[in-house]
Amino acid sequence: MHYHEYHELIENNLLWAEEKQQQDPEYFVNLAKGQKPPYLFIGCSDSRMPLNSFTKTEPGELFIHRNVANQVSLTDMNLLAVLEYAVEGLQIKHIVVCGHYCCGGVEAAYKNSATGVVENWVNPIRELYLKNRAEIDALPTITERTNKLSELNVVEQVKNICKTSVMHRANKAGTAPAVHGWVLDISKGRIIDLPLPIHDWRALGIIP
């Protein structure tokens, strides 16, 4: 980023802060008192995924964790710490895993084109594709195939959330938040609330 572009970020922040102060003189005073967000969002790091913009939410309403292709790895201490704090500390009511169409990580997994650390990171998506290859490859275009893989990836990551010790403890205590899987259609700016196989997961003992 050129210095002028970088400097614009600071200037924009000052303008935004002044506007908020004019609208509500107590806005930042109240914001500094603490957070009690009802939602944990786990999303992709893609720069086109500003969740606050797409959901018209304000600071303090969303607790957010983002990584490449919105993965929920049961060995990712960063994510597990976020999840534990959100569920047990903030007592959030909803967990949303939000993926998107035209996802570079998903496309790399589908094409088997990732290298280095990213190759390792998206390998679970590659395995998900191979597991569902017949269904995905039956679709006529690469765009439709990768979009379908994005949807399957979201559902798989929601299932992984349900497998964590954090959620097991919350289920036993009767305080588990609801789980949701979303995919954002960037070309339309619309969020699709994906159906989840809750009955299948319950039959497998993944959720009570």
Cα 195 from Cα 208, distance rounded (Å)? 18
Handedness of CA 56, 60, 63, 65 (dihedral sign): positive
Cα 169 from Cα 36, distance rounded (Å)? 21
Which are the catalytic amino acids?
A: 44, 46, 48, 100, 103
Classify burial at 85, counting beta carbons within 10 Å of its beta carbon; exposed 0-12, middle 13-18, buried 19 or more.
Answer: middle
Q: Give counts: helices (H), strands (E), the chain.
A: 11, 5
Contacts of 108 by beta carbon, 8 Å cutoff, 6+ apart: 114, 118, 119, 122
C-beta of residue 83 within 8 angstroms of C-beta of residue 40: yes
Cα 10 from Cα 5, distance rounded (Å)? 9
The number of beta carbons lying within 10 Å of the beta carbon of residue 153 is 29
For tokens 């999840």, what's the residue?
83
